[in-house]
Amino acid sequence: MKLVTAVIKPHKWEDVREALETFGVTGMTVSEVSGYGRQKGHTEVYRGAEYDIALVPKIRIEIVVEDDDAEDVVGIIVKTAQTGRIGDGKVWISPVESVVRVRTGDRDAAAL
Amino acid sequence: MKLVTAVIKPHKWEDVREALETFGVTGMTVSEVSGYGRQKGHTEVYRGAEYDIALVPKIRIEIVVEDDDAEDVVGIIVKTAQTGRIGDGKVWISPVESVVRVRTGDRDAAAL
Amino acid sequence: MKLVTAVIKPHKWEDVREALETFGVTGMTVSEVSGYGRQKGHTEVYRGAEYDIALVPKIRIEIVVEDDDAEDVVGIIVKTAQTGRIGDGKVWISPVESVVRVRTGDRDAAAL
Amino acid sequence: MNFAYDGYYAWMIAATSFVLLMTAPGLALFYGGMSRSKSVLNMMMMSFVSLGVVGVVYVLWGWSMSYSDGFSGDGKLFANPFDQFGLVDTDPLNYIFVAFQLTFAVITAALISGAIADRVKFSSWVVFLPLWVTLSYFPLAHMVFGGGFLSGAKDGLAEMIYSAGDAAEVAPLDYAGGTVVHINAGVAGLVLCLLIGKRLGFGKEPMKPHNLTLTMIGAGLLWFGWFGFNVGSIVFTADSLADPEAFMTQFTTETGLVWINTTVATCAAMLTWLIVEKIRDGHATSLGAASGVVAGLVAITPACGALSPVGSIGLGAVAGALCALAVGLKYKFGFDDSLDVVGVHLVGGIVGTIGIGFLSTTTGLFYGENAKQLVVQIAIALFAIIWSGVVTLVLGLLIKYTLGWRIADEDELEGIDFVEHGESAYDLSGGGGARRSILTEGVSA
Amino acid sequence: MNFAYDGYYAWMIAATSFVLLMTAPGLALFYGGMSRSKSVLNMMMMSFVSLGVVGVVYVLWGWSMSYSDGFSGDGKLFANPFDQFGLVDTDPLNYIFVAFQLTFAVITAALISGAIADRVKFSSWVVFLPLWVTLSYFPLAHMVFGGGFLSGAKDGLAEMIYSAGDAAEVAPLDYAGGTVVHINAGVAGLVLCLLIGKRLGFGKEPMKPHNLTLTMIGAGLLWFGWFGFNVGSIVFTADSLADPEAFMTQFTTETGLVWINTTVATCAAMLTWLIVEKIRDGHATSLGAASGVVAGLVAITPACGALSPVGSIGLGAVAGALCALAVGLKYKFGFDDSLDVVGVHLVGGIVGTIGIGFLSTTTGLFYGENAKQLVVQIAIALFAIIWSGVVTLVLGLLIKYTLGWRIADEDELEGIDFVEHGESAYDLSGGGGARRSILTEGVSA
Amino acid sequence: MNFAYDGYYAWMIAATSFVLLMTAPGLALFYGGMSRSKSVLNMMMMSFVSLGVVGVVYVLWGWSMSYSDGFSGDGKLFANPFDQFGLVDTDPLNYIFVAFQLTFAVITAALISGAIADRVKFSSWVVFLPLWVTLSYFPLAHMVFGGGFLSGAKDGLAEMIYSAGDAAEVAPLDYAGGTVVHINAGVAGLVLCLLIGKRLGFGKEPMKPHNLTLTMIGAGLLWFGWFGFNVGSIVFTADSLADPEAFMTQFTTETGLVWINTTVATCAAMLTWLIVEKIRDGHATSLGAASGVVAGLVAITPACGALSPVGSIGLGAVAGALCALAVGLKYKFGFDDSLDVVGVHLVGGIVGTIGIGFLSTTTGLFYGENAKQLVVQIAIALFAIIWSGVVTLVLGLLIKYTLGWRIADEDELEGIDFVEHGESAYDLSGGGGARRSILTEGVSA
Ligand SMILES: Nc1ncnc2c1ncn2[C@@H]1O[C@H](COP(=O)(O)OP(=O)(O)O)[C@@H](O)[C@H]1O
Ligand SMILES: Nc1ncnc2c1ncn2[C@@H]1O[C@H](COP(=O)(O)OP(=O)(O)O)[C@@H](O)[C@H]1O
Ligand SMILES: Nc1ncnc2c1ncn2[C@@H]1O[C@H](COP(=O)(O)OP(=O)(O)O)[C@@H](O)[C@H]1O
């Protein structure tokens, strides 16, 4: 099994979800995070004084998939979340040894 | 070392914490996430118009454990968080190469 | 590639970010989490009745780095986030098989 | 016609509006902020719907049942509910008083809801409202304000205790509703929270206020509205009604005194509540300040016309300290008076009602020659406690065994806002501090 | 001089202040809470800046254009805007009425903003405001309140329909602005939201209120302020102005009636709105309670002086139910009247204006002998709809093809608060429940 | 007795209640919303406790020290604090004025707290309050309003500058407290924030408002309350007091004028503040609108009775622009006037006080023949600055070296709400948008 972790721009979340659904991904876990990177946040002016905001809001998606699907899933995410502008995010794959469905105790492929 | 990641129903969090404590887990990191899966969120009626809410609130628990404990911890979580209804969540195990306690610099087993 | 995950005290986040930036880390993903561990939360008195609050606010940082940098990054985090008091947090290293930059499709080292 | 009236009428329009503001949004905010974020809307709705239901009922039979016999001093328990049904036969000169009294009935009913937060079927509350005001509020209003059994009336309670002559002298004093409003609502809250039972997790989880800024706004609006409540409750003497000059004098001096007393008692209660907290818990809290404000306002309500400013400071100080201690009792005795209706309104109402017996500048024990006023005050407080207690118990049981009071346990855990009202109070994502994501937004059907 | 005036003036100072409170913060909160968290500040700013702009304009030429010809009953469309420009030649005895009418113009303009939430250039709104009040509000105010074409004036609309004698008898009735304020604003909202188009995602995402506690505060403050609006709109008869005793009688009885009618209609509307929701959607919501409150207030606005209390309950009940059904229409017909200006103000305004034709205790169809009043009421409602519709369409098109109305699509997605105002409403981290981290705080430049 | 009084008294009851609302919850919200989420409760508590402490003190010796010598025009610095201690010997006809003046003392003290947000021991603030009102507020109130040194009194400042005859002619003008309230509080804020030092991270982190909706509510309630403040500050001429007809005329015309001036100056200030921001920063913010509102209200406070409506628009416009520029100074000069007390109240108070010298329709430089009024206005502004500055410095140092002002650094980082009050303002989990989890809830001991 693999874990695909994707950090993407918030407004792309809906599109990514739909694309993954179409591909056949049946579940994922999503959270709101803040990103730090080349995309530099923004400058805010407050009472005439300027401030740099370093962090940018992002969505983090975690999907456990079978080994064979990992690259496809990454590909779909990259294609769908791409805008070509700095800050589009990262996707990484890491190994998972085992996954269980809490409801049934099913293991691995059967647990997805 | 292993990392056990569990995504469970929010109201099971207290029970899981207690069960893990009893087993001897001394620490964990918890966050609020949204789950997407078979459990389909809910329908909301607003001003007479209907909407599907796709995401469901979940709790994500991360626990770094020694290799031998991983299966036990997974077992405890599955047993305690199970309600038998769709949406009970997933637990997965992934490899960890090393862990450090920030306070002391202790490594691996000593860091837990 | 490695994934370094650090759970630290919130007020140390700025220092850690600066130290990592100086070292040359160009990106990371940050989230607000709750920690459970030796540090025991606090007692609150409300209307004359006492309550224990078990969870403590923490910051979780995720950084994908090249294999060689992993130990250095861990070292920097440990050094910078250390206050010597209970609750300073944990840092762990896990394997990453591949990482992609969404904007360009660049892979691995080039994606960081 | 007495031309001095017109300023007084002008004030009564404002005062009546002030009191309506106390319920919506004043009390709704005070209570809403104290409840949990999953039940704030239900809490606010309980206040709003009290206004909706009691407002209509009041015009239909509430006024008639309270005052249609013209303050005749008959010593009765209530007046005829059909006499001026729908205000059809009400003298238009009384309209503003109908309005003023309407707002009192509304807030009294709404006050009760704080004792049973987070766990009650909305429909049961809606059914309880008209029954309770009809059987508990309108009668007590008639008895105390309408020349009934608890006024200085012939055949009234005071006369039963003392001879007729004395009774007139030590007629029960309740300027703006210590018995009718606060003891009444406080007892009802106590009875209902005992009958309905505790929230799940009560005593184990803190169940702290989810938004204290709302509670502070609510406390501020309640204070403001309370000037309508107390200062609007002036009743003119026969002399004043006969003589414009006397009218003007009473109007200008009494309203000024009541305003000051209302304020300084409240200031003092806020301070003593904070002091008790600081000593007992180590911290003076904003919830304590807000609660102290309400405790002071409650206590001075019956007493605001009878005390001196310095006496009012004293009464407020005692009320603030006692109520601060009293709100802890629910944990001791294990009843879930969720938002402290008993600790603040029942205790504060008793402190104020009985405090008059000591502090009245004319008949109080500290000023006058005897304890007669004190005895009368205790008697009316007891009577109000018993009346409200019995009525509420009967109605509470009736609903318990018909509609039922409580929502299902899993619904209570899930949150009553979502379950009963299909809503949640806040959706701060998709904007907010970090202009966060769209995670909580829906996906179209 | 009539000494009975001074209480009335005292009330007018308060009433005028009440009405100002309706816009800021009342309406700002009501609308702000209903919008999304990324656009609440823009929404509140639209109300605040209406006050800023229209307040200044009113003193410059608004009063003059509405009332400078002294309520002469001339039947005209508007008065001379330069006659009392800057109030230089205004009789100081009229100042309080200038102030009162100023607050009406302000809130009418602000009401429109709810129809076009989240997507409009702030600068275009600022430009629209003075143009719209000048061409739509001031004329309608003159026509209805200032003795103009829609009053009982000679050569007025009623006289056109009936013979002169009859017209006086069935002069159009609009106590506090069913046509001038609510139909006017409601139509303007409809025209603008059609012209400007839907929010991105409308009909697909729920776009639910981001903070219903704000909406509830807003509804409460609106209700409170509305007493100024309605009760302050009393106009004295010639008899009253001549005779202090008659003055006092009219003042005390009419204000009381209007207060009661305003309240019970609102109570009833809240209840029927909740009932419709419960039946249709399964839940009685707090947004429904708040909306029902406003619907009731809107409907009773023109009618509050003409109905009995029981009639007012009836009118409110009808208005609450109809408006509850009407707000769903936008999804049916696909126009994005974002915060239900049309469903509440236009529909409620029509219900109230025409309801008088049935329920007026003197000339209504249910009480009087004929339908004349009803016909007149329908006529003025139609006239107001057409006038406001045409004016708003012309102005809306003008701005559309010059400044443009909409912000860029990506800005709308990002959130208008940040893009137009450089702010976000909430920064709850760095404190809050769990005293969370500093993630959203900045790093110094 | 003058029967025209009774409307005026009716208004004064309302007005006094309005002003109390300004502090709690008005100012508490305005300031609370501007502070960070970890210190909002402390900020609100500073306002509430000002009311608690100063309310009690005022009745004890505040009134006596300010006005017990009967507005005798003695030119003194203060009156005898023991003369009417506890109001025991106060004429009941004055009660409403005691109440009105009480609310002024309360808000003036509370205003200061904005300059020292987030970092001050609550106990030190509680100790500072009675000392400061006793030594700075009560004397200045006596001097300006009580016939003392800064009034038109014999031996007063104006007489020192000009000969006796002229002084009467150009007696200092301060209708509702430009010097006594705003300059006084503004200077005290400046001195304290210099003495106490900056918040940790000031100038590096933005320290933006955590909840602008609260600030907007606060601004709206302040505006509403300010009608009590300004319109309630009418003082009747000897002629009016003698002749009911003159009384009525002054009452109806002057209150109307003051209401309008208060409103249009505020409208204009809001607009110019927004324009300055738009030009300088590219965005017109809601914080700017709220601040502009307060700046306008501050500036018109001393001037509201002396200007024409058009003059008031001018004064407001200038005040809005100047204050918008002034609030940036703290970053330039590096003093942490956290919530802009200096930029708004000191600068706005000076603009208003001195603006009268130009714009007074009777004695202003633009209308009259000479600069005498202008000189007098500058003189009283300077005197108030020096008096308040010296008193605050002495008291500030006293507390600094005894109790100490600041909480510990780590406590300031952790958040003053939790450390000083044991609370946090918000607990939005366990409900909220996504009906999120129970993570921040406690686990029973
Ligand atoms: N080394 C990294 N480890 C983890 N997350 C990263 C890393 N680098 C970037 N990110 C995440 O990816 C997001 C986008 O990165 P950024 O450098 O801004 O743009 P891009 O990926 O287009 O070059 C960041 O906001 C951050 O959340
Ligand atoms: N492939 C996946 N990867 C990561 N998380 C998943 C995956 N599938 C499901 N989840 C998480 O598990 C939760 C429960 O899954 P769901 O399909 O609703 O029910 P069940 O596990 O009972 O079949 C989801 O809400 C989501 O958070
Ligand atoms: N086994 C674990 N797995 C994951 N996170 C842990 C684990 N143990 C501790 N943590 C995290 O580290 C934080 C600090 O741990 P704690 O035991 O309080 O102090 P310390 O690390 O100084 O001994 C915890 O709040 C929690 O977030």
Q: Give the least confident one: D304-313, E12-21, F151-160, F333-342.
A: F151-160
Predicted local confidence at residue E433, as pLDDT = 32
Question: Which amino acid, D350?
Answer: I
Rounded Cα distance between D420 and D434, Å, is: 31
> What's the mean pLDDT when you consider all of chain D?
93
* 8 Å CB contact of C55 and F444: no
Q: What is the DSSP string of E237-287?
A: -HHHHH-HHHHHHHHHHHHHHHHHHHHHHHHHHHHHHHHHHHHHHS---HH
Rounded Cα distance between D314 and D272, Å, is: 10
Rounded Cα distance between B79 and A1, Å, is: 22
SS3 D414: helix
Rounded Cα distance between E34 and E114, Å, is: 9
Predicted local confidence at residue B50, as pLDDT = 80
* 8 Å CB contact of E213 and D44: yes
Joined together, the tokens standing for residue F29 give: 């919200």
C-alpha dist (Å) from residue B64 to B1, B99, D371, D408: 7, 8, 73, 38
Domains of chain E: 9-233+248-406 (1.10.3430.10)
C-alpha dist (Å) from residue E342 to E54, E206, E350: 22, 19, 11
Rounded to the nearest 10 degrees, the angle between the axes of helix E286-303 and helix E347-359 is: 50
Per-residue pLDDT band for F435 (boundaries 50, 70, 90) equals very low
The span from the first CA to the last CA of chain C, in angstroms, equals 10
List chains adjacent to chain C, taking adjacency as at least 3 C-beta pairs closer than 8 Å. Answer: A, B, D, E, F
Q: Using an 8 Å Cβ cutoff, are D38 and D424 in contact?
A: yes
Is it the case that residue E24 has pLDDT exceeding 70?
yes
Q: What is the DSSP string of D175-222?
A: SS-IIIIIIHHHHHHHHHHHHH-PPTTBTTB----SBHHHHHHHHHHH
Rounded Cα distance between F298 and F324, Å, is: 13
Rounded Cα distance between F386 and F390, Å, is: 6
Phi/psi at D232 (5° precision): -75, -10
Of E84, E309, E334, F107, nearest to D64 (Cα)? E309
CATH of domain A1-109: 3.30.70.120
The H or E element containing residue F278 is helix F244-281
Joined together, the tokens standing for residue F342 give: 């200096």
Rounded Cα distance between D192 and D396, Å, is: 6
Average pLDDT for residues F177-184, to the nearest whole number? 98
Q: Which position has the token pair 């236009």?
A: E346
Per-residue pLDDT band for E168 (boundaries 50, 70, 90) equals low
Can you name the residues that pair with C90 across neighbouring β-strands? B101, C7
Rounded to the nearest 10 degrees, the angle between the axes of helix F95-112 and helix F184-196 is: 30
Residue D201 — left, alpha, or beta (φ > 0 → left; ψ -120 to 50 → alpha)?
Answer: left
> D339 to chain E, minimum CA–CA distance in Å?
18
Q: Considering only CB atoms, which chain D residues are within 8 Å of B44? A: 422, 442
SS3 F31: helix
Q: Is A86 in the pocket of ligand 1 (CB under 6 A)?
A: yes
> What's the mean pLDDT when you consider all of chain E?
93
In terms of C-beta density within 10 A (0-12 exposed, 13-18 middle, 19 or more buried), how is residue D370 classed?
exposed
**Residues whose CB falls within 8 Å of the CB of residue E238, separated by 6 or more in sequence, listed in order:** none
The H or E element containing residue D59 is none
- Identify the residue whose C-alpha is closest to ligand 3 atom 21: C89
Q: Is A8 in the pocket of ligand 1 (CB under 6 A)?
A: no
User: b/e per residue, F171-196, with b = 16+ CB within 10 A?
Assistant: bbbbbbbbbbbbbbbbbbbbbbbbbb
For chain E, what percent of residues have pLDDT higher than 70? 94
Rounded Cα distance between C5 and A94, Å, is: 13
Is it the case that residue D275 has pLDDT exceeding 80?
yes
Rounded Cα distance between F381 and F140, Å, is: 11
Rounded Cα distance between D105 and D56, Å, is: 11
* 8 Å CB contact of A13 and D438: yes
Is it the case that residue D57 has pLDDT exceeding 50?
yes
Average pLDDT for residues F58-81, to the nearest whole number? 92
Integer-rounded Cα radius of gyration of chain C? 17
Q: Using an 8 Å Cβ cutoff, are F10 and D228 in contact?
A: no
Predicted local confidence at residue D433, as pLDDT = 32
D278 touches chain C (CB under 8 A): no
Average pLDDT for residues E188-204, to the nearest whole number? 95
Torsion of CA A110, A112, B6, B7, to 10 degrees: -140
**Residues whose CB falls within 8 Å of the CB of residue F429, separated by 6 or more in sequence, listed in order:** B32, D37, E433, E434, F436, F437, F438, F439, F440, F441
* Total CB pairs under 8 A between chain B and F: 24
Question: Which amino acid, E341?
Answer: V
Neighbours of D280 (CB within 10 A): 13
> Which DSSP state fits D211?
B
Per-residue pLDDT band for F2 (boundaries 50, 70, 90) equals low
Best mutation target, E41, E410, E429, E443, to test chain A (most A CBs within 10 A): E443
Question: H-type helices in E342-371, by residue range?
Answer: 347-359
Is it the case that residue A41 has pLDDT exceeding 60?
yes
Higher pLDDT residue, F146 or F5?
F146
Q: Which position has the token pair 């007084």?
A: D8
Instruction: Give the chain A residue whose CA is nearest to the CA of C28.
Output: A36
Average pLDDT for residues A38-58, to the nearest whole number? 81
For residue F116, the number of C-alpha atoms closer than 13 Å in the C-beta half-sphere is 31
Rounded Cα distance between D430 and B31, Å, is: 19
Predicted local confidence at residue F444, as pLDDT = 29
Residue among A36, A81, A92 whose CB faces C30 most closely: A36
Q: Counting every residue, how long is chain D?
A: 445
Q: Is B78 in the pocket of ligand 2 (CB under 6 A)?
A: no
Average pLDDT for residues F341-358, to the nearest whole number? 98
User: What distance in angstroms lies between residue D139's CA and the mean position of ligand 3's atoms?
Assistant: 62
Predicted local confidence at residue E323, as pLDDT = 98
Which ipTM value was assigned to this complex? 0.95
Q: Using an 8 Å Cβ cutoff, are E150 and E143 in contact?
A: yes
Q: Is C64 in the pocket of ligand 1 (CB under 6 A)?
A: yes
> Which DSSP state fits F370?
S
Neighbours of D160 (CB within 10 A): 11
Q: Considering only CB atoms, which chain C residues are within 8 Å of B95? A: 94-95
Per residue in D171-214, pLDDT (tens digit) is 999 999 999 999 999 999 999 999 999 999 998 888 999 999 99
Q: Is B6 in the pocket of ligand 2 (CB under 6 A)?
A: no
Q: Tell me how far the alpha carbon of residue C1 is from its chain's centroid.
A: 17
Predicted local confidence at residue C50, as pLDDT = 81
**Residues whose CB falls within 8 Å of the CB of residue D57, separated by 6 or more in sequence, listed in order:** D105, D129, D130, D133, D134
C-alpha dist (Å) from residue F70 to F59, F86, F145: 16, 16, 11
Higher pLDDT residue, F74 or E189?
E189
Is it the case that residue B21 has pLDDT exceeding 70?
yes
Is it the case that residue F148 has pLDDT exceeding 60?
yes
Rounded Cα distance between C77 and C71, Å, is: 10
Question: Which amino acid, E333?
Answer: F
Q: Are strands C98-101 and C42-46 parallel, antiparallel or unpaired?
A: unpaired
The angle formed by the CA atoms of residues F71, F72 and F73, to the nearest 5 degrees, is 95
Q: Give the least confident one: A27-36, E270-279, F49-58, F113-122.
A: A27-36
Q: Is C29 in the pocket of ligand 1 (CB under 6 A)?
A: yes
Q: What is the largest CA-CA distance in chain A?
A: 59
Rounded Cα distance between D193 and D339, Å, is: 11
Joined together, the tokens standing for residue E2 give: 């009539």
